[in-house]
């Protein structure tokens, strides 16, 4: 499947060049309409029925299950944030003194603090695999260092499919094989990859996959989704939400208290996860992503960024080799002689939105972007270099 530019579906002004979906996705028109429908539903509460609390949630879980190649939607939990999902995971892991939790360098804070806390709780060790300092074969060498760091002491490996700040691809299949060999858990943060990069739970078999919804899934801020594997089937949720219990759809009988949870991951869904506005918007987002397909999105992003990457490398920027990075999100280390403050001012003047990480810029794009957007960006960088 080959995709063309889809900017007509979005409400982004023509003068805006938005290369920062990794921070927050824009809504397309179907999501706006879904959100408005949720707002209006509150104006007529007498139309909200028992099914309103359950059926849309099942639809949402089925869509996410399809996206990540999971047969049973009951393995999906509806959560408010990636940190909530990671806290749920950590809440159900018991470690022994001296066990190791392995992370990669400069993970997103929500995927660091939770493991730091767990390590302190059990007197375990937090092991950080540093990013190689040399540019040559950096992605390849970083993946090798991760594999070499997994040992008999490793109890948990927690990382993203890609690095959230620079797009480095991690070889999850090889990492899964190594964790299996030492009986360690593999916990994946898919917030910066699911929806834009093909992923299969059947292929990788993670113990848990946590994913924020407001980036590549086009959901609202405050919506996230999670997959929980068999290790967590009988775990303890963070809270005791009434709708996660068996027979909760029988509202007239809610005070006939139920000891059993709904099967599998349903116990981990957050309270009020039927949030009518959030669920409607996230359903619309997932339906469109599934229609586009992550593979086609990735191919489109590669097509519109190739020329810009060649230009950036030609003027002295470092960009990871494409075999070890994603195309929807990647980092660019700027030449040391470039004045970053001058570049920020130039980008603001040209209405170009990107993320800065010190002397790095993070570029993230989607189907509303074009080659012209990246040409506009590289022209700004070239102009700043010439001024310097």
215 in a structural domain: yes
Helices (H), 224-269: none
- Provide CB contacts within 8 A for 123, sequence distance 6+: 97, 98
Give the pLDDT of residue 330.
97
Picking from 247, 275, 291, the residue at the C-terminal end of a domain is 291
320 in a structural domain: yes
Give the pLDDT of residue 388.
61
Does residue 12 sit in the same domain as residue 59? no
Does residue 150 sit in the same domain as residue 181? yes
Cross-sheet strand order for the sheet of 329-333:
329-333, 360-364, 355-357
Helices (H), the chain: 29-43, 55-67, 82-91, 110-122, 138-149, 172-181, 201-204, 276-292, 294-314, 340-349, 371-387
SS3 assignment, position 261: strand
Does residue 285 sit in the same domain as residue 298? no
Does residue 287 sit in the same domain as residue 322? no
Give the pLDDT of residue 1.
74
C-alpha closest to that of 374 among 385, 384, 363, 383: 363
50 in a structural domain: yes
Cross-sheet strand order for the sheet of 154-160:
76-79, 224-228, 208-212, 185-189, 154-160, 100-104, 125-129
Give the pLDDT of residue 359.
77
Give the pLDDT of residue 165.
93
Does residue 212 sit in the same domain as residue 350? no
Does residue 271 sit in the same domain as residue 377? no
Rg of the chain over all Cα atoms, to the nearest angstrom: 22
Does residue 230 sit in the same domain as residue 329? no
Give the pLDDT of residue 357.
82
Q: How far apart are CA 360 and CA 165, in angstroms?
A: 9
Q: For residue 320, is it left (φ>0), alpha (ψ between -120 and 50) or beta?
A: beta
360 in a structural domain: yes
32 in a structural domain: no
- In this structure, what CATH number is given to the domain that contains residue 200? 3.40.640.10
Picking from 291, 313, 344, the residue at the C-terminal end of a domain is 291
| Paired sense of beta strands 76-79 and 224-228, if any | antiparallel
Please, is 146 exposed, middle or buried when counting C-beta atoms within 10 Å of its C-beta (0-12, 13-18, 19+)? Answer: buried
* DSSP class of 61: H
At residue 14, φ and ψ (nearest 5 deg) are -60, -30
Give the pLDDT of residue 252.
87
Is-contact 204 226, C-beta < 8 A?
A: no
SS3 assignment, position 162: strand
77 in a structural domain: yes
Enter the pTM of the model: 0.96
Helix (H) / strand (E) containing 157: strand 154-160
Beta-carbon count within 10 A of 361 CB:
23
Q: How many domains does the chain have?
A: 2
Sign of torsion over alpha carbons 307, 311, 314, 316: negative
Does residue 90 sit in the same domain as residue 129? yes
Give the pLDDT of residue 2.
87
The string of pLDDT tens digits covering residues 328-384 is: 999 999 999 999 999 999 999 999 999 998 778 999 999 999 999 999 999 999 999
Is-contact 180 206, C-beta < 8 A?
A: no
pLDDT means per 10 residues, the chain with 388 residues, are 93 96 96 95 91 95 98 98 98 97 96 98 98 94 98 98 96 98 98 98 98 98 97 97 93 91 97 94 98 98 98 96 96 93 96 90 98 98 86
Does residue 86 sit in the same domain as residue 199? yes
Does residue 51 sit in the same domain as residue 108? yes
- In this structure, what CATH number is given to the domain that contains residue 329? 3.90.1150.10
Both tokens assigned to 8: 């007509």
Domain range spanning residue 214?
A: 37-291
Does residue 87 sit in the same domain as residue 227? yes
Picking from 291, 307, 337, the residue at the C-terminal end of a domain is 291
150 in a structural domain: yes
Is-contact 171 140, C-beta < 8 A?
A: no
Does residue 78 sit in the same domain as residue 152? yes
């Amino acid at each position: 499947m080959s995709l063309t530019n889809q900017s007509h579906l979005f409400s982004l002004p023509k003068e805006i060049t938005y290369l920062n979906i990794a921070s927050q996705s824009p809504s397309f028109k179907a999501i706006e309409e879904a959100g408005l429908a949720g707002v209006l539903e509150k104006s007529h509460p007498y139309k909200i029925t028992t099914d309103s609390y359950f059926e849309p949630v099942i639809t949402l879980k089925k869509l996410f299950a399809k996206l990540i190649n999971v047969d049973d939607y009951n393995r999906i939990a509806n959560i408010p944030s990636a940190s909530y999902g990671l806290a749920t995971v950590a809440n159900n892991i018991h470690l022994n003194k001296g066990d190791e939790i392995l992370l990669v360098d400069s993970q997103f804070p929500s995927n660091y603090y939770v493991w730091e806390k767990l390590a302190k709780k059990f007197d375990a060790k937090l092991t950080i695999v540093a990013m190689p300092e040399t540019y040559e074969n950096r992605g390849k060498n970083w993946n090798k260092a991760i594999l070499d760091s997994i040992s008999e002491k490793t109890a948990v490996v927690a990382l993203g499919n890609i690095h959230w700040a620079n797009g480095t691809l991690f070889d999850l299949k090889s990492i899964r094989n190594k964790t299996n060999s030492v009986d360690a858990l593999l916990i994946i943060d898919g917030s910066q990859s699911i929806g834009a990069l093909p992923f299969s739970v059947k292929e990788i078999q993670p113990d848990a996959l946590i994913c924020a919804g407001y980036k590549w899934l086009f959901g609202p801020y405050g919506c996230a989704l999670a997959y929980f594997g068999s290790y967590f089937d009988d775990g303890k949720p963070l809270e005791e939400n009434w709708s996660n219990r068996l027979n909760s759809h029988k509202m007239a009988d809610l005070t006939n208290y139920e000891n059993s949870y709904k099967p599998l991951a349903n116990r981990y869904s957050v309270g009020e996860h039927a949030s009518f506005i959030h669920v409607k918007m996230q359903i619309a987002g997932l339906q469109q992503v599934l229609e586009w397909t992550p593979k086609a999105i990735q191919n489109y992003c590669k097509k519109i960024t190739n020329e810009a990457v060649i230009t950036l490398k030609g003027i002295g920027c470092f960009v990871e080799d494409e075999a070890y990075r994603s195309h929807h999100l990647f980092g660019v280390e700027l030449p040391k002689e470039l004045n970053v403050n001058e570049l920020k001012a130039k980008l603001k003047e040209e209405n170009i939105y990107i993320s800065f990480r010190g002397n790095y810029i993070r570029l993230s794009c989607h189907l509303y972007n074009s080659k012209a957007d990246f040409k506009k960006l590289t022209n700004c960088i070239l102009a700043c270099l010439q001024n310097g």
